[in-house]
Structure 1
Amino acid sequence: MAARKPFLLRLEPEVFAALQRWAADELRSVNGQIDFVLRRSLQREGRLPAGRRGEAAPQPAERE
């Protein structure tokens, strides 16, 4: 497994509380939920590097 880079993230209390609720709904930790949301956003924008198995990064959806 690739090493993870620790960093400090400052959030407004209401944003953190919303993340906690969302994470609990999906049975994830808050850290796992943040990782999930960031990865999904990067994939949608076509900014996530190719996957571990040599898969190409998905292309962003066309915008109207």
Structure 2
Amino acid sequence: MAAPKKKAFALRLDPEVHAAIERLAGAELRSANAQIEMLLREALEARGIDVRQSEQPRRGRPPKEE
């Protein structure tokens, strides 16, 4: 199964906001992109909007077929 495609778009941020996101991402061992997505999901959840997680690709070796 192919991995679901992510929607790419340009995001203009104040440099100070971007720097804060990068610091937070580094502290939580995430990329800045993953941190932005997590912050958006948390903000949506706080407003009562449920966004389901897309199916993630399976990692590792495929199971042996018998």
Superposition TM-score, scaled by structure 2 size: 0.68
* Larger RCO, structure (CA 8 Å, separation 6 or more): 2
Partner of 1:13: 15
Aligned-pair distance for 1:17? Answer: 0.5
Runs (4+) off by over 2 Å: 48-52
Deviations 1:5-54 (A, max 9, x none): 000000111111000000000000000000000011111211124556xx
Is there any run of 5+ residues in structure 2 with no aligned partner, and where? 55-66
Partner of 2:6: 4
**Count of aligned residue pairs for this structure pair:** 53
State the identity %: 44
Aligned-pair distance for 1:3? Answer: 2.0
Compared CA separation, residues 14 and 46, structure 1 to 2 (3 A): same
For 2:17 and 2:53, how far apart are their aligned partners in 1?
29
The residue correspondences of 1:12-31 to structure 2 (distance < 5 A) are: 12-31=14-33
Superposition TM-score, scaled by structure 1 size: 0.70
